[in-house]
Structure formats: structure tokens, C-alpha cells
Amino acid sequence: MRVAEFDREFVLRQAMLAFTQCGYAKTSMQKLTQVTGLHPGSLYAAFSNKKGVFLAAIEQYQTDKNQQFNAFFCNNAPVLPNLRAYLALVVTECLGGDSMKVCLLTKSITEVEGQDSQISKVLSDNLNAYEQAIAFQLNRAITQHEITPNRSAQQLARFFAMGLYGLRTYALTNNNAKDINQLADDLFSVISN
């Protein structure tokens, strides 16, 4: 008996980056062997096929992003400044030149919509969970009287998620820092009023 040698997290993070940069269709197995350092046989032994690599990479992405998000709210500070700080991170990513400019989940669901319902479901489940995480924080903000909105935390979170998806797409059409920051300010003020 022999144990697998490769570092699963490293492999999936590398795959994650490749899928983010090239998209699902254009990320070839050859490219995945290059960035992961694994040979085709090993990749297929571990993940069955390209779709298996993708789904595993999505899972890793979700884990990483979830941890990143929660890190903004694990202090004892009020919710809203934390949420504003998180929004500032997204703005930084939008304005940066690297692959973090786009969200792997929204990019992928846009690509595979109507082509693979299993992948679509995984992606929408993950994005719904993201919205729920935002709703949880906004609910805390309401409970702590940081905001007294005329909408539910759920509705606010939905609007905020929509805004984030739109912000990332918009930044692809206009990468002007002032404009993106303005949009983020406007989005935040809709939530925090």
C-alpha cells in the first residue's frame, strides 16, 4: 500500500486559479497537469475527470472564500464597519490586475448556465450560501440597532449580493478607481440607510 504524494489543497488551489483565468471550457487537462504538477493518470485517479477537478476546486474555493469573509466579522466591532471593510477588499480585487478580479462562482455559472445542470446547481448553492452569510451579518446589524431599515436582512443581503456581482462585472468595462469606489459607496449607503 502506498499513500498519495501530492498536496491536495495546493493542487486544487492551482486548478482554481487556472479555471478562474481561463474559464471551464478553455482550461485544458494539459494546462491542469502543468499548473498542478500532476500527470494525467494521477489527476484522473484522484478526481475522475475534468468535471471532477472543477467541482473539487469549487469546493476549495468556497472554503477559502468563506474563511476570508468570516475573518472580517470575527472581532467584537459593530457589523457595518466590518461589512464596509469587506466591500473595500472586493473593490481592491476589482481594480487589481490579477485573476482575483473575477469571482470563480459567478464567472462559472454564467459560462455553464444551460449546459450542465449539476455544475449550475453546485454554483448557485454556493452563491446562495454566500448571500445567507451576508444576511446573517446584516441581521446582527439590525438586532444591534446599527441600522433600522424598512427591509428585511434577507432582502438587504440579496440587494448587496446583486450589487457585488454587478460591481465585478462593471469593473471589467470600466476600471477607473474613482468610479468603482463611488459605486461601492453608493451600494453601501443603500444598505446602511
**Contact between 190 and its own copies (CB under 8 A)?**
yes
CB 77 within 8 A of CB 144: no
- C-alpha 102/C-alpha 115 separation (Å) is 21
For residue 12, give the C-alpha cell: 486544487
Q: Which amino acid is at 56?
A: A
- Least Cα distance to 137 among 163, 121, 156 occurs for 156
Q: Please list every residue from 94 through 153 that binds its own copies, using CB under 8 A.
A: 99, 101-102, 106-107, 109-111, 113-115, 120, 123-124, 127-128, 131, 151
Q: Which does 102 bind (CB under 5 to 8 A by kind): its own copies, DNA, none?
A: its own copies
Sole window of 43-51, 77-85, 88-96, 176-184 interacting with its own copies (rule: CB under 8 A):
176-184
Are 39 and 103 spatial neighbours (Cβ–Cβ below 8 Å)?
no
Compute the distance between CA of residue 178 and CA of residue 99 in angstroms, rounded to an integer. Answer: 21
Contacts of 148 (CB under 8 A, 6+ apart): 142
Residues near 114 by beta carbon (within 8 Å), at least 6 away in sequence? 120
Site residues, DNA (CB under 7 A): 1-6, 27-31, 38-42, 44-46, 49-51
Give the residue among 10, 9, 13 at the shortest CA–CA distance from 104.
13
Select from its own copies, DNA, none the partner in contact with residue 109, using the beta carbon and a kind-dependent cut-off of 5 to 8 Å. Answer: its own copies
Which CB atom, from 7 or from 179, has the smaller least distance to its own copies? Answer: 179
Report if residue 73 touches its own copies, rule: CB under 8 A: no
Q: Does 50 bind its own copies (CB under 8 A)?
A: no
Which positions from 23 through 42 interact with its own copies, judged by CB under 8 A? 23, 25-26
- Partner interacting with residue 9 (select from its own copies, DNA, none; CB below 5-8 Å by kind): none
Smallest gap from Cβ 173 to its own copies, in A, equals 4
Say how far apart CA 25 and CA 134 lie, in whole Å: 30
Identify which of residues 48 and 152 has a Cβ nearer to its own copies in the complex: 152
**Positive or negative torsion for Cα 13, 110, 26, 174:** negative
Kindly list the residues in this chain that would bind its own copies in the complex (CB under 8 A): 21-23, 25-26, 99, 101-102, 106-107, 109-111, 113-115, 120, 123-124, 127-128, 131, 151, 155, 158-159, 161-167, 169-170, 172-174, 179, 182-183, 186-187, 190
